[in-house]
């Protein structure tokens, strides 16, 4: 609310600022500086201050005789035995409606079942004229009721105990490592070269100005690599090599796949994902997802320690189960490999193929990895066939090439079956041609009959312009030659 000043009040303020009029006095009798702005000296409207004062800017002392009105939260007044008209349809309480009910929605409310009627809440009326009292959202709250939520003391005690244990461990390490000899003095000395290398391996720390909305600020930026390292995109300048993403500065594939692994410094970003702790973290995530799907409340980000302990227990139980199954199989069937050792000729066998391996065991020179065999049976002939199923293909159908049959489990008929199939095909083609010729003659007779009587032709007639060889032959056979002396006899 904006208070408009009259002309007289404005002139009086100007006179006070110029020292021509006495300054105003507050409630305590102290003069108010006339140069204080109005938005500071003017009290808020809800304080109902009748005169200028700076009392609202000072910290107010609580009244010792003031008792804060409160109410009992969660207190119960009465509990009905049956549902009363006008009560909550969900829980049955008479102090609220179903719209304001805070209980869990029941499948069948108390209105229809008449059971488990909730007690009525105590509605307290807080009568206070205090501004803060009317807007106190924690009025009537018991601090002891939220002690289980805010456990500050327990967390602070745990942090103190952790710091104490770490301090004792450091002191113990120093006592064990220092005995007063010259070697210990050399041990305590710091090698500057090693410090520089560690800083470089931990990425260089650079202080620079970072632009923000509120102005410039000093931030810490760590370089992704040191200046002496070769950039990823310069390892292989071939455009068909591994793809480099300049936005994320990542290269997933290996830029130098043919290089010796012992001399290779960088093998792509995917190498970090399938090795070391990256692979362990991936397995941990997979185990947590599978456990959550089976009903276990496990989450890696919410409870990482719990997920890791469950994964360790799972690995231990899995190893025990595998060893138990192995022992059971060995007890039942025995171990032939342990009873009879392989001959020395087979263990140290020689061959004419020359294969060269590196230290990790990868093939550098020699025969490549053999292709896996098919899971289907090969070169198996059944029912007197001399070829396998699928060796013959015709009209989108598979068959046997030896007899050209398309039935899978048929018996082979050989060359005689091929000749019989060809004769049957020729006969079928002749029958089809004869049938098409007969139909073409009937079609030509029908067309001639419609041409003679124009009145029988329908209104929405549809003509077919597709003319086949049989139609042309029928037209030539039925065509009338006017010069023919026998044309009337034929008709």
Higher pLDDT, 234 or 133: 234
Cα-only R_g, the chain: 50
Using pLDDT thresholds of 50, 70 and 90, give the confidence band for residue 29: confident
pLDDT value for 324: 94
Confidence of residue 211 (pLDDT cuts 50, 70, 90): low
Neighbours of 242 (CB within 10 A): 19
- 399: part of which helix (H) or strand (E)? strand 397-399
- Summarised one tens digit per residue, pLDDT across range 239-275 is 888 888 888 888 888 888 888 888 888 888 888 777 7
Q: CA 152, 153, 154, 157 torsion: positive or negative? A: positive
Per-residue pLDDT at 320 = 95
The tokens for 340 are 């009879």
Q: What is the pLDDT of residues 95-135, one digit of tens each?
A: 999 999 989 999 999 999 988 899 998 877 766 667 777 77
Query: What's residue 487's pLDDT?
Result: 66
Most confident residue range from 9-23, 32-46, 66-80, 179-193: 32-46
d(CA 117, CA 107): 14
Each residue of 424-481: pLDDT tens digit? 888 888 888 888 878 887 777 777 776 666 666 666 666 666 777 878 888 777 776 6
Residue 481, CA atoms < 13 Å, CB-side half-sphere: 6
Q: How many CB atoms lie within 10 A of CB 403?
A: 24
With a cut of 50, say whether residue 182 has pLDDT above it: no
Tokens of 23: 């300054």
Spacing of C-alpha 151 from chain mean position: 34
Percent of the chain at pLDDT exceeding 90: 13
Mean pLDDT estimate for the chain? 77
- Nearest C-alpha neighbor of 248 from the set 233, 264, 266, 229: 233
Which tops the pLDDT comparison, 307 or 189? 307
**H or E segment at 205?**
strand 205-212
pTM above 0.95, yes or no: no
Strand 215-222 with 205-212, pairing: antiparallel
Structure tokens, 224 = 């992704």
Structure tokens at 36: 């204080």
Whole-number pLDDT of residue 195: 41
Q: Left (φ > 0), alpha (ψ -120 to 50) or beta: where does 106 sit? A: beta
Q: What is the pLDDT at residue 317? A: 94
Asked if residue 490 has pLDDT above 60, the reply is no
Q: Which pLDDT score, from 0 to 100, does residue 187 have?
A: 45
Per-residue pLDDT tens over the stretch 288-344: 999 999 888 889 888 999 999 999 999 999 999 999 999 999 888 888 777 677 676
Asked if 91 and 110 touch (Cβ cutoff 8 Å), the reply is yes
Residue-level pLDDT at 190: 42
What does DSSP say about strands 215-222 and 356-357: parallel, antiparallel, or unpaired?
Answer: unpaired
Q: Give the residue ranges of DSSP H helices in 88-151.
A: 110-113, 131-134
Residue 224's pLDDT is 55
The pLDDT confidence band at residue 220, using thresholds 50, 70 and 90, is low
């Amino acid at each position: 609310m904006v208070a408009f000043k009259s002309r007289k009040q404005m002139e009086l303020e100007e006179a006070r600022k110029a020292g021509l009029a006495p300054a105003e006095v507050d409630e305590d009798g102290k003069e108010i500086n006339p140069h204080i702005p109005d938005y500071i000296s003017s009290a808020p409207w809800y304080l109902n201050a009748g005169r200028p004062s700076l009392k609202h800017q000072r910290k107010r002392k609580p009244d010792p005789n003031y008792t804060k009105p409160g109410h009992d939260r969660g207190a119960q007044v009465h509990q009905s035995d049956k549902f009363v008209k006008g009560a909550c349809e969900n829980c049955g309480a008479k102090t609220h409606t179903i719209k304001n009910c805070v209980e869990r929605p029941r499948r069948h409310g108390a209105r229809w079942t008449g059971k488990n009627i909730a007690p009525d809440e105590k509605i307290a009326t807080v009568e206070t004229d205090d501004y803060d009292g009317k807007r106190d959202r924690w009025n009537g709250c018991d601090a002891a009721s939220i002690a289980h939520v805010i456990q500050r003391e327990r967390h602070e005690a745990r942090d103190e105990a952790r710091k104490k244990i770490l301090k004792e461990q450091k002191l113990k390490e120093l006592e064990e490592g220092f005995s007063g000899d010259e070697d210990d003095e050399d041990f305590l000395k710091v090698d500057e070269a090693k410090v520089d290398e560690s800083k470089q391996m931990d990425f260089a720390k650079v202080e620079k100005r970072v632009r923000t909305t509120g102005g410039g600020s000093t931030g810490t930026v760590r370089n992704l690599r040191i200046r002496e390292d070769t950039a990823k995109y310069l390892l292989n300048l071939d455009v068909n090599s591994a793809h480099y993403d300049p936005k994320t500065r990542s290269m997933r594939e290996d830029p130098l796949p043919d290089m010796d692994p012992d001399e290779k410094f960088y093998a792509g970003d995917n190498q970090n994902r399938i090795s070391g702790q990256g692979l362990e973290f991936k397995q941990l995530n997979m185990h947590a997802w599978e456990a959550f799907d089976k009903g276990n409340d496990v989450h890696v980000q919410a409870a990482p320690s719990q997920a890791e302990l469950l994964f360790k227990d799972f690995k231990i139980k899995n190893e025990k189960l595998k060893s138990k199954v192995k022992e059971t199989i060995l007890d039942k069937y025995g171990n032939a490999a342990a009873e009879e050792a392989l001959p020395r000729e087979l263990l140290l066998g020689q061959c004419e193929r020359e294969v060269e391996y590196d230290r990790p065991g990868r093939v550098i020179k020699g025969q490549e990895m053999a292709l896996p065999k098919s899971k289907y049976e090969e070169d198996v002939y059944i029912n007197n066939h001399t070829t396998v199923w699928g060796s013959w293909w015709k009209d989108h159908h598979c068959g046997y090439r030896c007899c050209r049959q398309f039935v899978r489990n048929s018996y082979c008929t050989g060359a005689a079956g091929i000749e019989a199939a060809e004769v049957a095909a020729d006969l079928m083609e002749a029958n089809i041609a004869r049938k098409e010729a007969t139909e073409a003659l009937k079609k030509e007779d029908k067309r001639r009959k419609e041409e003679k009587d124009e009145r029988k032709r329908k209104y929405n007639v549809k003509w077919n312009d597709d003319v086949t060889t049989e139609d042309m032959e029928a037209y030539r056979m039925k065509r009338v030659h006017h010069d023919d002396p026998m044309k009337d006899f034929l008709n």
